[in-house]
Structure 1
Amino acid sequence: MEYIFLFFIGICATTLGTLAGGGGLISLPAMLILGIPVHSAIGANKVSNTISSFSSFYHLLKKKEISLKESCWIIPVSLGGGITGGFIASKLSGEYMFIIALVLLIFAFGTSFIGKGNFTGKEPLKMNKISITGLYGIGIYDGLFGPGQGTLMLYLFDFLNIAYIRAVGLVRLATFSSCFGAAISYIASGKIIWPFTIALLLGSLTGAQIGVRLAEKLKPIVVKVILRFVTAALIIQIAVEQII
């Protein structure tokens, strides 16, 4: 029964995560409720996100919404961030990880009201100080904790004036890269509980395909509202967990 529950959690979490990030808002608390240790729960998310995020990226690549020429440099940057974050996470307590997540999400939520972007931009993704630093930093956060990584990255791509559906594809590639790096660290540390991880993975693969197809139909004007809702929900969730 637990495996069926995790399968459907994977569907819901990855559908949301593809559209606006924040899939960990669903999957991580659900795994903790089942009594799965926090590091094992995060590790399961990293493994499942590695495969599911690549599947949604590949879908958009086939449809030529994004190109490898524009996006391939994301892989080493986010991979390096994920490996770094996974290593740091193994040295930190769960309490410190929650605090870092809360600070970053509050910052992202605040800047969403300052920025004027609305995902209607047509700029290509370029290698510069902002994009490289932003992607590497979010990669560290993804390996360190995870929930809200996709949300933070969508804010970054919105700031860089990139259209929404292309931003979704780029986020999924970056998620694949950072999660792959983090997954290696978690597997090497022996924190993965494989039966739970595989159940979540199968649901995540399904959710990734549902999410990417819904993203193709979303109007950019709706995206900022969804992002703010997801960010606020993440902040509340993490704050409540800290109080409890």
Structure 2
Amino acid sequence: MLDPLTLLALGAVGTLAGFVDAIAGGGGMIALPALLSAGLPPVSALATNKLQSVFGTGMAALTYWRRGFVSLKALIPAIAFTFVGSFLGAMVVKQADTSLLDIAVPVALIGIALYFLFAPNLSDADKAARLPFGMFVPLMGFAIGFYDGIFGPGTGSFLTIGFVMLFGFGLTRASGNTKILNLTSNLAALAIFIPAGDVVWPAALAMGIGQLVGGYIGARTGIRYGAKLIRPLVVVVSIALAVRLLVFR
């Protein structure tokens, strides 16, 4: 049983995680260690992290959508494919060997950080897409959703880089669409975790309240400052995630 002071601290952590996640992804890097430090078993911490992040990701997604950075109609096929991919990933996670991901994911995250750091034309302006949106965004959603169901770290960074590199989105629009698909993948995983009784509800709700605040403020901040804030924060979050995966395993 978690005491009130611990729940209050988790709520504060949820606010910070929601703020960072709304702008650049990677909120789980802050929330998951806090849950483990509070004494939750690893599976319960993972499940609780998924639920608490839904609050912040949902608030951020709603804020980006209301400000016109997301077309839900265009994303419907990708939402469906992302849900299926994440659900399947969560189902097979216990049978899958994820040891290769321990190295491959940090390397990919460092590559993303270098791209955002040195690419000369990253801005909020949309550019020509390299792939047709309607055909390939659902495939991207399925693949990254499957990864999120199995492993998870860096999902937001991978989605953002996909929207920017493959589909020509400006950074703020890419962040908004990333929130929609990230929310979808979290909900799909919870369809496995909640019936199994893995979620610690007091912790999830305490952090969820903080996530609502942090997600709203983070999304408004990302919209206000755009690429000049999103770009460096994606670099910092990607490198921090890579270091955590490589060093603190």
Taking structure 1 as the reference length, what is the TM-score of the superposition? 0.88
Question: Where does residue 52 of structure 1 map in the other structure?
Answer: 56
Q: Which amino acid aligns with 1:157?
A: F
Equivalent-residue separation in structure 2 for 1:118 and 1:58 (angstroms):
24
Equivalent-residue separation in structure 1 for 2:216 and 2:182 (angstroms):
15
Question: Where does residue 103 of structure 1 map in the other structure?
Answer: 104
Equivalent-residue separation in structure 2 for 1:75 and 1:132 (angstroms):
7
Quote the offset at 1:201 in angstroms: 1.2
Question: Where does residue 163 of structure 1 map in the other structure?
Answer: 170
The alignment status of 1:126 with 2:115, answered yes or no, reads: no
Equivalent residue in structure 1 for 2:243, among 221, 236, 244: 236
Equivalent-residue separation in structure 1 for 2:26 and 2:104 (angstroms):
15
Q: Which amino acid aligns with 2:67?
A: K
The alignment status of 1:70 with 2:97, answered yes or no, reads: no
Question: Where does residue 113 of structure 1 map in the other structure?
Answer: 114
Question: Where does residue 223 of structure 1 map in the other structure?
Answer: 230
Equivalent residue in structure 1 for 2:141, among 135, 139, 159: 135
Equivalent-residue separation in structure 2 for 1:47 and 1:98 (angstroms):
25
Taking structure 2 as the reference length, what is the TM-score of the superposition? 0.86
Question: Where does residue 204 of structure 1 map in the other structure?
Answer: 211
Equivalent-residue separation in structure 2 for 1:221 and 1:135 (angstroms):
26
Q: 1:128 to 1:138 in 2, by over 3 A?
A: same
- SS of 1:106's equivalent in the other structure is helix
Question: Where does residue 84 of structure 2 map in the other structure?
Answer: 80
Quote the offset at 1:211 in angstroms: 0.7
Tell me if the contact between 2:148 and 2:185 (Cα under 8 Å) persists in the aligned partners. Answer: yes
Equivalent residue in structure 1 for 2:41, among 11, 14, 37: 37
| Count of residues paired in the alignment | 238
Tell me if the contact between 1:74 and 1:173 (Cα under 8 Å) persists in the aligned partners. Answer: no
Query: Percent identity between the aligned chains?
Result: 24
Q: 1:200 to 1:147 in 2, by over 3 A?
A: farther
Quote the offset at 1:161 in angstroms: 1.4
Tell me if the contact between 2:124 and 2:172 (Cα under 8 Å) persists in the aligned partners. Answer: no
Quote the offset at 1:215 in angstroms: 0.4
- SS of 2:40's equivalent in the other structure is coil
Unmatched tracts of structure 1, length 5 or more? none
Q: Which amino acid aligns with 1:232?
A: I
Equivalent-residue separation in structure 2 for 1:68 and 1:174 (angstroms):
10
Equivalent-residue separation in structure 1 for 2:35 and 2:78 (angstroms):
30
Q: Which amino acid aligns with 1:132?
A: P
Equivalent residue in structure 2 for 1:11, among 8, 15, 37: 15
- SS of 1:162's equivalent in the other structure is coil
Quote the offset at 1:9 in angstroms: 0.8
Equivalent-residue separation in structure 1 for 2:47 and 2:174 (angstroms):
25
Quote the offset at 1:140 in angstroms: 1.5
Equivalent-residue separation in structure 2 for 1:89 and 1:202 (angstroms):
29
Quote the offset at 1:19 in angstroms: 0.7
Tell me if the contact between 2:86 and 2:148 (Cα under 8 Å) persists in the aligned partners. Answer: yes
Unmatched tracts of structure 2, length 5 or more? none
Tell me if the contact between 1:119 and 1:158 (Cα under 8 Å) persists in the aligned partners. Answer: no
Q: Which amino acid aligns with 1:76?
A: A
Tell me if the contact between 2:14 and 2:208 (Cα under 8 Å) persists in the aligned partners. Answer: yes
